[in-house]
Structure 1
Amino acid sequence: MNAHTSALAPPSRKHSSVQRVWKRILRNKSLYLLGLPGIVFFLIFKYVPMWGILISFQDYSPFQGMLNSPWVGLKHFERLFSHPDFLILLRNTMAINVLNLIFFFPLPIILSLLLNEVGNLVFKRIIQSIIYLPHFLSWVIIAGISFLLLSKGEGIVNKLLEAGGFNKFDFLTNPDVFWGLLTVQSIWKEAGWGTVIFLAAIAGVDPQLYEAAKMDGASRLRQAWHVTLPAIRSVIIILLILRIGHIMDVGFEQVFLMMNGAVSEVADVFDTYVYRLGIRQGQFSFTTAVGLFKSIIGLILVILSNRLAKRFGEEGVY
């Protein structure tokens, strides 16, 4: 009897744990329903397509399908690493992202600290709206505005330079300024979005910390440095880790729209390379291998930066 009872005990405990899970779900059903669209989105567009990774190890043919296409092992990765354009693509991709990391990432933090010091609520909201508005513009519109402002012939900036007695400058076809141009565009478009995130983090700082700092005679600058920044440091670290994880992703739309023959040597990145060979030439297996290489590098960087953050006593992503 005891043996029989003990044999039945694990299923009973398992059934009890399942019931507790279902009770918890029913109790918080509104929260789960709120998160359901995001879960479904990630399942359909992020996890299901992972099966496509297999074709990077095949000579995939749409007519044969994934099950019947021949396996070729690491052939496409060997082709990628031995291709003469690989180092150029890697250089351009890394350079653009490093510039964004250096100049773009700190700016939302600075803007959020400055906006946090604005006492006039109406003025603060107006400034927030102005810097956040470009986030809703597509890269097509951003590129159009850039051409309108910077084109050498009829660009507004060059017209002003000419009116001031200066020579016109070729912003759009000069390889020396192309990376900087992309960085400025990214700052203008997305700095407002990052500012909103950091402002939300600052709103959660305990007001008593500021009161204690005031009693100690701390100026507004010292309060921002010794109270606000340490309080949002965990958010900064997490976003920095995630940003490092995307260091191989430049963004196809921005580069593709601003790219031209004069700057192709510094503009061609992995994303445009995948479009050119994968979409236009149908080399699906090779370009999938390129995408998998990017993902592996991003994963490694996230793991390393997360471990580094934890080694210094910070909260990581996981």
Structure 2
Amino acid sequence: MQRILRPKRFNQLWPFYLLAAPGILYFVIFHYIPMSGLMLAFKEYSPFKGLINSSWVGLDNFRQFFGTSDFYILLKNTLLISLLNLVIYFPFTIILSLLLNELRLKVFKRVSQTIVYLPHFLSWVVIYGITISFFGPSGVINHYFTEWFGGSANFLVSNEWFRPLVIFQSIWKDAGWGTIIFLAALAGINPEQYEAAKVDGANRFQNIWHITLPGIKSTIVILLLLRLGSSMDSNFMQIFLMTNSLNLDVSNVFDLFVYHIGLEQFNYSFAITVGMFKSVASLILVLGANYAAKLLGEEGIF
């Protein structure tokens, strides 16, 4: 008779539960318990009355938010920055991973990886300081502009230059760090496939197109789905530092709006309303993209 395997008892698995406990507590305390504050979106919150006793207003906050012209400006600015990150930053990390993977000299490869990883550990304040040093009114770029063309460009206060600078900052700071998962996926490709392709006369570009990219396709899809889930989010600190009164037309995104409404004007209910809309929209995007991925034959994330 086939032996029936019983589940292990708790006293056998308690070390694993103990290791998982800090992570579980983190999510419970900082992610699930604060969800009770979502009811503020349906109330007119008053610090003197408290969360429970504040007057109930139903969907008035949502009607006010969707009825203002700010909603369309915020939606446009947020989605444009996310789209540029999706179209430029995300493929750049894949290309950088492929280039690093093609390096054959191990010492040079490790040094190159370390160099592209280092900017990730710099704070956005430092990144902004470097940006001013290069693109500010008296920065290096404007110095050469003045010397060569007799004029200067207003990079940091220009609507046209705001998005390119934000994408450039993201690529310089985090593209190297974003290659870690792709490099791990590339390491899992069977080397025998490359050897067989070499026997068939394939060159490096053919190897990349027919072996490397198909080998990491599932990883690309999963990371793309996760990025779509955060498409309604912007890097608040980066946007906050790059924003000024002259480029506010293109830099005002949902996260910045929540900061001004919630922390500067103390309109907590309205700020929670905006945050709740962002979360629901992100969930819809993830579910839709995951469903589309499954229709195309990919595994998806759930």
TM-score bin (small chain): over 0.9
Residue identity matched to 2:71: F
Residue number in structure 1 paired with 2:215: 231
Unaligned runs of at least 5 residues, structure 2: none
Residue number in structure 2 paired with 1:60: 45
| Distance of 1:308 and 1:116 partners within structure 2 | 30
| Distance of 2:48 and 2:263 partners within structure 1 | 16
Residue number in structure 2 paired with 1:104: 89
**Residue 244 (1) aligns with residue 228 (2):** yes
Alpha-carbon distance, 1:122 to partner = 1.1
Residue identity matched to 1:47: Y
Residue number in structure 2 paired with 1:310: 294
Alpha-carbon distance, 1:20 to partner = 3.1
Query: Of 130, 155, 159, which residue of structure 1 is paired with 2:139?
Result: 155
Residue identity matched to 2:59: L
Residue identity matched to 2:62: F
Q: CA RMSD in A?
A: 1.7
Residue identity matched to 2:38: I
Deviation string for 1:116-170 (max 9, x for gaps)?
1101111111111111111111111111111111012x10111122233453211
Residue identity matched to 1:73: G
Residue identity matched to 2:160: D
| Distance of 2:155 and 2:38 partners within structure 1 | 39
Unaligned runs of at least 5 residues, structure 1: 1-15
Provide the secondary structure at the position in 2 that maps to 1:247: coil
Alpha-carbon distance, 1:222 to partner = 1.0
Alpha-carbon distance, 1:297 to partner = 0.4
Deviation string for 1:187-228 (max 9, x for gaps)?
111101111111111111111222222222211111111111
Q: 1:165 to 1:286 in 2, by over 3 A?
A: closer
Residue number in structure 1 paired with 2:125: 140
Number of residue pairs aligned between Structure 1 and Structure 2:
298
Q: 1:166 to 1:236 in 2, by over 3 A?
A: farther
| Distance of 2:263 and 2:292 partners within structure 1 | 38
| Distance of 2:141 and 2:261 partners within structure 1 | 36
| Distance of 2:211 and 2:271 partners within structure 1 | 48
**Residue 125 (1) aligns with residue 113 (2):** no
| Distance of 1:126 and 1:159 partners within structure 2 | 32
| Distance of 2:114 and 2:199 partners within structure 1 | 34
Provide the secondary structure at the position in 2 that maps to 1:205: coil
What does 1:37-56 align with in structure 2 at a 5 Å threshold? Answer: 37-56=22-41
Q: Could you tell me the TM-score, scaled by structure 2's length?
A: 0.94
| Distance of 1:113 and 1:158 partners within structure 2 | 34
Q: Could you tell me the TM-score, scaled by structure 1's length?
A: 0.89
| Distance of 2:150 and 2:165 partners within structure 1 | 20
